Structure 1
Amino acid sequence: MARIRSIKPEFWSSEQVMECSPMARLLFIGLWNFCDDGGNHVASAKTVKAEIFPGDDIASTDVQRMLDELSSNSLIAFYTNGGKDYLHVTGWKKHQKIDRPTFKHPSFSNDHRRALDESSPPEGNGEEGNGEEGKEHSSLRSESSPQLALTGDPTAPADLKAKRADRIRQIAEDARTAYNAILAKPHGQLPACTLLNKSRIKTVEKALPTVRQLCQAMFGSEKVTPQFWEAYFETAAGDDFHNGNGPYTAPHGNWRPDFEYLLRETVIAKLADRAASEDAA
Structure 2
Amino acid sequence: MDLYLKGKTAVVSGASQGFGRAITKELALEGVKVLATARNEALLNSLKEEIAAAGGVEPLTFVYDFTAQDAPQQIAAAALSGLGHVDILVNNAGRSQPLEVVSPDELWEASFTLDFNRHRQLTQALLPQMMERKEGVILNISSTYELRTLNASAIAKASVVAWAKQLASELGPHGIRVNSIQPGLIDTNNIRRFFPGDERRQFAEREIPLGDFGEPQDIANMAVFLASPRARYITGTVAVVDGGMRRYPF
Provide the TM-score with structure 2 as the length reference: 0.27
Q: Which has the higher strand share?
A: 2
Q: Which of structures 1 and 2 has the larger relative contact order (alpha carbons within 8 angstroms, sep 6+)?
A: 2
Provide the TM-score with structure 1 as the length reference: 0.25
Mark the structure with the bigger radius of gyration.
Answer: 1
